[in-house]
Structure 1
Amino acid sequence: MVAQWIAEALQAYTGLTPGAAATILALMLATYLLVSSLFVAPAAPSPAAPPQQPREVEEEEKEEEKEEEEEPTMPFVFPDPVEVGEVTLEQLRAYDGKDPAKQILIAIRGQVYDVSRGRLFYGPQGPYSLFAGRDATRALALMSFDPNDLTGDLDGLSPDELEVLQDWEEKFKERYPRVGHLARQDAAGNGRNAAQPDHDAGDA
């Protein structure tokens, strides 16, 4: 009954027979499905696998990790400043940084400074290693790396060069402890203007 009533109503309103109406409805549904499939978002691509490292690189990295775990790096401990008192130039050369158990000493205007904390600069591989264990007075005044200038001789230095030396001396006083002084014969023998300051008279 109901089916017959629907068929009569469909024919009255559309003028189509039930078969024609069913065919049109099927075509509309097929068209809808076809059009919908065109707008479906494509499937997200699977994440690419990370590039494989060469086996040699992987093995090296593993070995480095093992070494770090087995042998933790120990920080370098600088020796505490030790008063050396009066030293000769010959004795001063033993403190050139090559022996890690000893301080690194540099003399300026007869004063001896412990520059061990500046090992990166004054140690055996440092850019200023030439000055370690030596009297660097003239070399610093001239900003020279000539071994012949590693002396306390101030003869012939200009006022500007003496001012440069004064600046270096002030920097050393601020950064490094004074641990002694050169023997008077060495400090005076390298140049008539290389006498020690008056306060050295009381040093041991």
Structure 2
Amino acid sequence: MSLWTSFAESITHYTGLSPTAFFTILAMMIVTYKIVCGMFVAGGDYMEVKRANEYVIREPVQLGDQVTEEELSAYDGKDPNKPLLMAIKGQIYDVSRSRMFYGPGGPYALFAGRDASRALALMSFDTKDLTGNIEGLSNSELETLQDWEYKFMEKYVKVGQLVSSHRTTQEAGQESGDKNENAQGNEAE
């Protein structure tokens, strides 16, 4: 009984409250915390997303430096056997270890399998901003994008380089021009 008495005196001394008032307030705080947490994240929803995104962490797959946007789109997390990839400024990163964020049902799932440079620079979730085109961005937006790139460089493994469709079109035009020149050169001989 002396232990309870010394404990009750300590509560009164440190808080200025009676033990009954102290424990009543403590119980109300715990109940309020549980209610507020339940308003924002339903336990079932959290477990469902977690189960959907269960993933065995594997070694990153190196894709090389000639990956097209179409090839990158296959790594959007819909196939659990493939790594989860996204690109920033043409650099492709394996974000599989953050599948709960970038995988299906995650808050950033729309960035997966794409070059999300413009969306990250603008801090936008609009689908029209899901592109690698960074033309027309302000200096502050470019700085924001650079910060994102540094975060990805520190946290994730770079697995490839994206070839922009614009560059691919130009290269294809040059290659066909080279073939035409070679064909004309062969005809002259």
Q: Deviations over 1:73-132 (max 9, x none)?
A: xx7412220101121000100000111110111011111000000100000011000000
Instruction: Answer yes or no: is 1:141 the counterpart of 2:121.
Output: yes
| 2:91 equivalent among 102, 106, 111 | 111
Query: What is the Cα deviation at residue 185 of structure 1?
Result: 3.8
Q: Deviations over 1:38-80 (max 9, x none)?
A: xxxxxxxxxxxxxxxxxxxxxxxxxxxxxxxxxxxxx741222
Q: 2:77 aligns with which of 82, 90, 97?
A: 97
Partner of 1:77: 56
Q: Distance in 2 between matches of 1:178 and 1:162?
A: 20
SS in 2 for 1:106: strand
- Calculate percent identity across the aligned residue pairs: 63
Return closer, same or farther for 1:146/1:187 CA change in 2, 3 Å cut-off.
Answer: farther
Structure 2 residue aligned with 1:67: none
The structure-2 alpha-carbon separation of the partners of 1:174 and 1:188, relative to structure 1 and needing over 3 Å to count, comes to: farther
Which AA in structure 1 matches 2:87? A
In structure 2, the residue matched to 1:166 is 146
What's the RMSD between the two structures over aligned residues? 1.7
Instruction: Identify the range of structure 1 (93-102 vs 75-84) with the bigger mean alpha-carbon deviation.
Output: 75-84
- TM-score under structure 2 normalisation? 0.58
Does the 8 Å contact 1:104/1:123 carry over to 2?
yes
The count of corresponding residues between Structure 1 and Structure 2 is 115
> d(CA) in 2 for partners of 1:98 and 1:168?
24
Q: Secondary structure at the match of 1:152?
A: coil
Matching residue's letter, 1:83: Q
Higher Cα radius of gyration = 1
Contact 1:89 1:186 in 2 (8 A): no
Assess, with a 3 A threshold, how the Cα gap between structure 1 residues 177 and 105 changes in structure 2: closer, same or farther.
same
Is 1:156 aligned to residue 136 of structure 2? yes
* Whole-angstrom distance in 1 between the partners of 2:118 and 2:168: 14
1:95–1:133 Cα contact (<8 Å) kept: yes
Contact 1:87 1:180 in 2 (8 A): yes
Matched, 1:125 2:109: no
Runs of 4+ deviating beyond 6 Å: none
Distance 1:166 1:142 in 2: 12
Ranges in structure 1 where 5+ consecutive residues have no aligned partner = 1-74, 190-204
